[in-house]
Amino acid sequence: MSTADLSLSAFNPIHSPLLRRPTSSSAPYLLPPPPSLSPRPHSLARLLHLCSSRADRRGILRRTSPITMSCGSTDRLRPELSELNDESDFEKLFTPSGRISICGFGSLLSERSARSTFPDLVDFRVARLDGFRRVFAHVAPIFFERGIAKPETKEISSLSVESCEGETLVVTVFEIEKSEIPAFMRRELEFRFLAVRPRTHDGKPFENLAVLCARYTDEEFFRIRCRGSKEIYFQHYGRYDIDKIWRDDVLPCRSYLRHCVLAAKNLGDAAYDNFLDHTYLADRKTTIRKYLETTGSGIMEEEPPESLRTRYGG
């Protein structure tokens, strides 16, 4: 999700108080390449049979940490997660060809949408990611910029993921050039960047780790990304009268939710059902399937503004 396009030089390197930086002895360990890294489209239905993955099979780079997380404590990280704090951390994930994998879970489920942001992406494919759920729980300035936010009804939230034991997501994975990383970090400034290992439809881990945009916190965003500067915060959020980013009282932006649902549907039944049943409102109780059947009924019949019909067309 876009924010004001400030240079990375406006921000200090991102150092998280949650995780220790790795030493040479704790460098990422990559599993040997499996026989096939790309799931076959006709096998998507098998994804949902693998949702109950054990902890020792989660596709996430492991790093020693005393911190644990359950679905009930959304601001802490599981010990397996590796946070990418600055560009040098991203560089550790580069392939020999100089590319890096990105994990899509919302609008990036749409290849057309992904290519509108990353025109030169390669190897767009479907995967699964264990141990995460999707949540509409943060305010996105881009919706205000594009005129599709409805603050009067609190329909202003975008999508992120957070760690949750026992959940599995159908996601997309694709590769971008390393030269695109600085712009990617600027666009996704409100997120925590994690290195995760997706799996194929039959549970085989991908050879390369992928970057995932996960839930952040208001305190970290202001202290680290904004360097404690109210002026920088204003450029991103304050000018839209947003004084809190991560909230539990917001609802999905209607056009954006419709776009994500259509994108998932275009990937097949398994991805579609997974999105409806493993994506939650900010209350973390109401699934998107339930929401669209009740309070959100009618959203899927609403066309986005003419200027956004391609961008938010699924």
CATH number at residue 183: 3.10.490.10
- What single letter denotes the amino acid at residue 175? E
Higher pLDDT, 25 or 252: 252
**How many other C-beta atoms lie within 10 A of the C-beta of residue 310?**
11
Q: Is residue 303 part of a domain?
A: no
Residue 67 confidence (pLDDT): 25
Q: Is residue 136 part of a domain?
A: yes
Determine contact, residues 133/242, Cβ cutoff 8 Å.
Answer: no
Residue 96 confidence (pLDDT): 87
- Two tokens at 115? 């290519």
Summarize the confidence of residues 6-14 as an average pLDDT.
38
Determine contact, residues 168/53, Cβ cutoff 8 Å.
Answer: yes
pLDDT > 90? residue 15: no
Give the pLDDT band of residue 216 (cuts 50, 70, 90). Answer: very high
Determine contact, residues 90/181, Cβ cutoff 8 Å.
Answer: yes
What is the number of domains present in the chain? 1
Summarize the confidence of residues 46-64 as an average pLDDT.
40
Q: 116 φ, ψ to 5°?
A: -70, -25
Summarize the confidence of residues 54-73 as an average pLDDT.
39
Q: Is residue 39 part of a domain?
A: no
Q: Is residue 10 part of a domain?
A: no
Q: Is residue 66 part of a domain?
A: yes
Q: Is residue 34 part of a domain?
A: no
Q: What is the Cα–Cα distance from 189 to 200, expressed in whole angstroms?
A: 29
Range of the domain at 279: 56-292
Q: Is residue 44 part of a domain?
A: no
Q: Is residue 45 part of a domain?
A: no
Q: What is the Cα–Cα distance from 253 to 311, expressed in whole angstroms?
A: 14
- What single letter denotes the amino acid at residue 57? R
pLDDT > 50? residue 155: yes
Summarize the confidence of residues 206-227 as an average pLDDT.
95
